[in-house]
Amino acid sequence: MSITNKIARLKAAPRKITQLLAVAWLVSTSFSMAQSEPTVGWPEKEELKFGFIKLTDMAPLAIAYEKGFFEDEGLYVTLEAQANWKVLLDRVIDGQLDGAHMLAGQPLGATIGFGTESHVVTAFSMDLNGNGITVSNDVWEKMQAHIPHQEGKPVHPIKADYLKPVVDEYRQAGKPFKMGMVFPVSTHNYELRYWLAAGGIHPGYYAPHKGDTSGQIDADALLSVTPPPQMPATMEAGTIHGYCVGEPWNQQAVFKGIGVPVITDYEIWKNNPEKVFGVSQAWAEQYPSTHIRVVKALIRAAMWLDENNNANRPEAVKILARSNYVGADEEVLANSMTGTFEYEKGDKRDVPDFNVFFRYNATFPYYSDAIWYLTQMRRWGQIAQPKSDDWYKEIARKVYKPDVYAKAAKALIAEGKANPEDFPEFDSETGFKPPQSEFIDGVTYDGTAPNAYLEQFNIGLKSDTVL
């Protein structure tokens, strides 16, 4: 049949062709929709604003944005640096921010009413480790007389036992010994207190029920809040004699020649949880699918940061060095992000797990992690009254949301973006780690028995003590 005749026949049957085309389109569309059917519901809110503080451990947010993981979930995210932790928390609570990089203690502190009271939750732990304690050059010079050395270098870990004679000297001279930490419910506060107390240095109590939130009652060393980026300059000015902070601000002291990091939090509590991604409970209830999708993107970012034995870390350093993220020199960031840590100038040592973002189930929101923070709040008086073991577990379940995390992880597995062996078992018992003993003082922590844990310390409130 000639082309002319074929065209003529087609013109004679336009209705039939239209019907066939319609059927073909429906079949094609149905197949396409089946192929793209999401494992999680579509996001209820697509345009989101997340806050962060300029620290290395905000990396999962930066990577999820830069690598398009948020966009893969249909989320269009703006990342915005915040002035300090209080401003960040307040903006999440009042809805100016959809969520934020938070101190692990912030959702817990807010929910129990220490400081700003509001129900804040987390379904994603952002990292393990990542902090250090730094002292000024003058303090370091005094400490060295008490620190054992091997082959001309200090033996690590350096305990607060070696700082105690220095603190005692200051007290005998009538001079206060001052140290900075980033926020009253920060990991840094609790790690610094833990380290000091393990060395016989009392870090002081809080008594909010008496109107005293200084945290300096009975203190040998006076701890106060200093914003992370200001810590090196504050120490250099002599306002504080040392501090506990996340990176890059310990390495910055080395880089500037004004202080010496004496210990990392990995050495205080091996593989301790550090930051979390927090949202308000109201936001989580209003946008459940969006929440799961955010966690999916953050899990992928954490995987990217740790995959192939940290092979992507040099690229991550370049990203974080940008002024809109951490804004520190690449050399300073690389000191810790690429598996090393510099103590004294030139004393660079391998610390491959200084920053952990995914391995060891780093991203999973364990109830036992939440309970550890609550025990420290109780130990130092931020929780004024004795509490039952069940109370600790109830608050942990109220704030930490492993069910949301599990939905995100299972969706990534179903989509072929993650493997089942990458995650812990998701069952009713998930949430409590086995007892942990790798603390600098050798005390064992069992999250299922918080009051028994508190009884083990020489310094600190016991389970039934009231100031």
How confident is the model over 189-236, as pLDDT tens digits? 999 999 999 999 999 999 998 999 999 999 999 999 998 889 999 999
Say if CB 131 and CB 262 are below 8 A apart: no
The mean pLDDT value of the chain amounts to 91
Give me the mean pLDDT over the 169-195 stretch.
97
Give me the mean pLDDT over the 289-294 stretch.
98
Q: How far is CA 162 from CA 13, 135, 157, 459, 460, in A?
A: 95, 12, 11, 17, 20
Q: Looking at 33-37, 275-279, 318-322, 463-467, which range is the least confident one?
A: 33-37
Question: Quick check: 17 pLDDT over 70?
Answer: no
Q: How crowded is residue 281: how many other Cβ atoms within 10 Å of its Cβ? A: 16
Residue 392 pLDDT level (bands cut at 50, 70, 90): very high
Residue with tokens 């004496």: 262
Residue 39 pLDDT level (bands cut at 50, 70, 90): confident
Question: Quick check: 7 pLDDT over 80?
Answer: no
pTM: 0.90
**63-96 pLDDT tens trace:** 999 999 999 999 999 999 999 999 999 999 999 9
Q: Looking at 22-26, 110-114, 434-438, which range is the least confident one?
A: 22-26
The bridge status of strand 47-52 relative to strand 76-81 is parallel
Domain covering 131-268, topology: D-Maltodextrin-Binding Protein; domain 2 (3.40.190)
pLDDT for 16 equals: 41
Question: Quick check: 6 pLDDT over 50?
Answer: no
The residues pairing with 225 across neighbouring beta strands, listed in sequence order, are 181
**237-250 pLDDT tens trace:** 999 999 999 999 99
Question: Quick check: 1 pLDDT over 60?
Answer: no
Domain covering 47-127+273-454, topology: D-Maltodextrin-Binding Protein; domain 2 (3.40.190)
User: Phi/psi of residue 44, each to 5°?
Assistant: -75, -25
**327-369 pLDDT tens trace:** 999 999 998 899 889 999 889 999 889 999 999 999 999 999 9
Q: Looking at 32-46, 330-344, 388-402, which range is the least confident one?
A: 32-46
**106-118 pLDDT tens trace:** 999 999 999 889 9
pLDDT for 25 equals: 37
Question: Quick check: 459 pLDDT over 70?
Answer: yes
pLDDT for 75 equals: 98
Q: Looking at 192-201, 284-293, 345-354, 452-461, which range is the least confident one?
A: 345-354
Give me the mean pLDDT over the 2-16 stretch.
40
pLDDT for 38 equals: 64
Nearest by Cα to 64 from 77, 82, 45: 77
Q: Looking at 27-41, 187-201, 313-327, 393-407, which range is the least confident one?
A: 27-41
